[in-house]
């Protein structure tokens, strides 16, 4: 094991897959000389050349269409959007082409496409560069949506996503890039669709993913001081969801809070709550499942307001205390 940053783990995953499979190539704005908006692909152009590290014009719709076509032709493109908000410029290519081509052509083709993009708030980038839009893509059959929270998971899941034969939306929260964690030096994969219990507990389950999963861990530390033993479940993949793990944890503790940064209404938390309520876990609940997501407003520019409109460790702690009353 070596301790590296989330950014380095992401970079290592891409580099290893480029070396392993000549069909893998990267494309996006400032991918080459600049090394990516957040520096993930720094040095890649020198190693792999401009035919595999492609700097594109500022046209998400254009280069996403190029990637979909390349995937249909047998390549494994990895697209990077500078900010996840820019996915709106390529929605038709993702939701009507990449997501549906395999089904509409009776399985005769695959679309092994990965769309990587930094998501989330916390950098003062305001309403058009700070959104969490994962629930949109969870609602589209044919897409897989991955949101890892640790360096270990981001490397293992990104490698699995590149080898996946269906389109994957791969979210990397901007504030996670500087976080550190232990990552094996040998090759490994983390399976898509499998969650992880980050902390075992018996009194209440906190279900989350991405940056909010780390906030949930901090909230669990605060709860421990009050004598409350919280279990923290990291979904890692939000489509498909790990239903077995969700149900098992809900049955174990009987009290569940689902929390995420994206807007609460119509969000992933609602689907998780529905999974629990529609299963045998419902009969083990001591309280109704509670949701805690982002406020129903655009992300403000002001750092103070920005922090107030999405869950934080202290507000997750407060929500759990309310749940246990």
Catalytic residue list? 129
Distances (CA, A) of 307 to 126, 301, 319: 12, 10, 16
By C-alpha distance, which of 177, 170, 169, 173 is closest to 151?
A: 177
Computed over every residue of the chain, the mean pLDDT equals 97
**Omega before 240 within 30 of 0, i.e. cis:** yes
By C-alpha distance, which of 293, 216, 287, 280 is closest to 246?
A: 280
- State how far the Cα of 66 lies from the Cα of 126, in Å rounded to an integer: 30
* Burial (Cβ within 10 Å: 0-12, 13-18, ≥19) of residue 173: buried
pLDDT score, position 122: 95
pLDDT score, position 42: 96
3-state secondary structure of 297: coil
Distances (CA, A) of 87 to 34, 64, 116, 131, 133: 21, 10, 10, 11, 9
Structural domains of the chain in order of their starting residue, each with its CATH number: 2-183 (3.40.50.970), 196-323 (3.40.50.920)
CB 111 within 8 A of CB 71: yes
pLDDT score, position 11: 98
pLDDT score, position 226: 97
pLDDT tens per residue, the chain (325 residues)? Answer: 899 999 999 999 999 999 999 999 999 999 989 999 899 999 999 999 999 999 999 999 999 999 999 999 999 999 999 999 999 999 999 999 999 999 999 999 999 999 999 999 999 999 999 999 999 999 999 999 999 999 999 999 999 999 999 999 999 999 999 999 999 999 999 999 999 999 999 999 999 999 999 999 999 999 999 999 999 999 999 999 999 999 999 999 999 999 999 999 999 999 999 999 999 999 999 999 999 999 999 999 999 999 999 999 999 999 999 999 9
pLDDT score, position 49: 97
DSSP secondary structure string for all residues of 82-121: SSGGGGGGGHIIIIIIITTHHHHTTTS-----EEEEEE-S
- State how far the Cα of 243 lies from the Cα of 228, in Å rounded to an integer: 25
- State how far the Cα of 171 lies from the Cα of 268, in Å rounded to an integer: 14
Distances (CA, A) of 102 to 109, 112, 117, 211, 237: 5, 10, 23, 32, 21
pTM higher than 0.85: yes
| Angle formed by the axes of helices 313-323 and 210-225, nearest 10° | 60
pLDDT score, position 164: 98
């Amino acid at each position: 094991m070596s301790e590296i940053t989330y950014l380095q783990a992401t970079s290592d995953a891409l580099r290893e897959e480029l070396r392993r499979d000549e069909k893998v190539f990267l494309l996006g704005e400032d991918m080459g000389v600049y090394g990516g908006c957040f520096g993930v692909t720094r040095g890649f152009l020198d190693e792999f050349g401009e035919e595999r590290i492609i700097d594109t014009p500022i046209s998400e719709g254009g280069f996403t269409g190029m990637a979909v076509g390349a995937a249909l032709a047998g390549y494994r493109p990895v697209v990077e959007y500078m900010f996840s908000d820019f996915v709106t410029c390529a929605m038709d290519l993702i939701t009507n082409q990449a997501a549906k081509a395999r089904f509409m052509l009776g399985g005769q083709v695959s679309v092994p496409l990965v769309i990587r993009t930094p998501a989330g708030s916390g950098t003062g980038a305001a309403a058009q560069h700070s959104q969490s839009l994962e629930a949109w893509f969870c609602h589209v059959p044919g897409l897989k949506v991955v949101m890892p929270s640790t360096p270990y998971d981001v490397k293992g899941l990104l490698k699995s996503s590149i080898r996946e034969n269906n389109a994957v939306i791969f979210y990397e929260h901007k504030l996670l890039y500087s976080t550190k964690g232990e990552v094996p030096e040998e090759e490994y994969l983390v399976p898509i669709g499998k969650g992880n219990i980050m902390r075992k507990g018996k009194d209440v389950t906190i279900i989350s993913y991405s940056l909010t999963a780390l906030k949930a861990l901090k909230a669990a530390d605060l709860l421990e001081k009050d004598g409350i033993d919280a279990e923290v479940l990291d979904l890692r993949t939000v489509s498909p969801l790990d239903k077995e793990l969700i149900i098992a944890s809900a049955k174990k503790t009987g009290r569940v809070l689902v929390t995420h940064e994206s807007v609460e209404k119509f969000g992933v938390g609602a689907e998780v709550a529905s999974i629990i309520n529609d299963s045998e876990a419902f009969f083990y609940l001591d309280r109704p499942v509670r949701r805690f997501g982002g406020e129903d407003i655009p992300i403000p520019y002001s750092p103070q307001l920005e922090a107030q409109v999405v869950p934080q460790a202290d507000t997750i702690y407060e929500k759990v205390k309310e749940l246990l009353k």
